[in-house]
Structure 1
């Protein structure tokens, strides 16, 4: 008689203990947990980085006044604004021929490193060419101004000409 009762009590007791032990066990972080931690941690500013540009990026809307005006058969269409970044498409005849952008390197100070070795200048600012479709300059040691070709008809010389059309002097004084 005692044995059947003991089974009725023992089974739930063991099941409860099993649930308690497994729920309290620590679980190794998944690769997604690790990626989340790395992406949300702020990287410390190294001593070699320029601390004057480290800080809060300006709002993207402040950049719009520095973009070149439309004209000469081109149409400028603003496509994106966010903290530290603004972008506009350049269209000719309804076709996207280039993308113009301004990026505040205060958000990502490492962006400036590619300009340190530059031997090329455009409008007096250090310039780099990335691949066959991107030309950019560093204005005021803080703002990356970039023109990206989206059509084969928009050449490197076109990109350089459009970089010169930005209000670079005004942008260099923005803080």
Structure 2
């Protein structure tokens, strides 16, 4: 009788200890924490290359407010700057300039461009974004946030940027950082013929 009683106590104690140890055991790392660990480990590629232009450098090349459109700063970081275009209190478009040194694939897309605007290759990115590439490096993009802001509006707003000023940022050092395979010889005699040249047009 006494033995059976002590056996029950022992079993209950064992299960209590088992539950306690299980509850205190550390949970295995999630796949997200593992990815974070891998991407931040020593030797992992940086998100933005050191030679990328500072985002603040791009601010002076953005268009200002005009008519019923208000242009407002939205985001700025190394290699990137973004502004909102508001109309009647609603964001209808986003404007951005990015340094593609950190994302070479972004520049590579322009190799297949069939249009030029102000002598720069231009492409549509989906149904809501239009961009152009300057000096094989700086991507200027307009993104529609409202159906009323059409493709024609995006092209018109691309022309409002100080494209010539942005092109002057290109230097010998910067040019050498761009892989030869990504350079787009738009102005050379060996350049592929781009059949459609977009003419300047006012924003609506």
Which TM class, normalised by the smaller chain length?
Answer: 0.7 to 0.9
CA distance in structure 2 between the partners assigned to 1:172 and 1:156 by the alignment: 24
Root-mean-square deviation (Å) = 2.0
**TM-score (norm: length of structure 2):** 0.62
**TM-score (norm: length of structure 1):** 0.72
Matches within 5 A, 1:100-111: 100-111=95-106
Tell me the alpha carbon deviations over residues 109-140 of structure 1, each in whole angstroms, 9 at most, x when there is no partner.
22111111111112211111011100011111
Give the corresponding residue for 2:36: 36
CA shift at 1:37, angstroms?
5.2
Gaps of 5+ in 2: 1-27, 171-204
State the number of aligned residues. Answer: 138
Which shifted more, 91-100 or 29-38?
29-38
CA distance in structure 1 between the partners assigned to 2:118 and 2:161 by the alignment: 10
CA distance in structure 1 between the partners assigned to 2:168 and 2:65 by the alignment: 23
Which shifted more, 154-163 or 28-37?
28-37
Gaps of 5+ in 1: 1-27, 44-53
Task: Check conservation: 1:90, 1:100, Cα contact below 8 A.
Answer: yes
CA distance in structure 2 between the partners assigned to 1:55 and 1:141 by the alignment: 18
Give the corresponding residue for 1:46: none
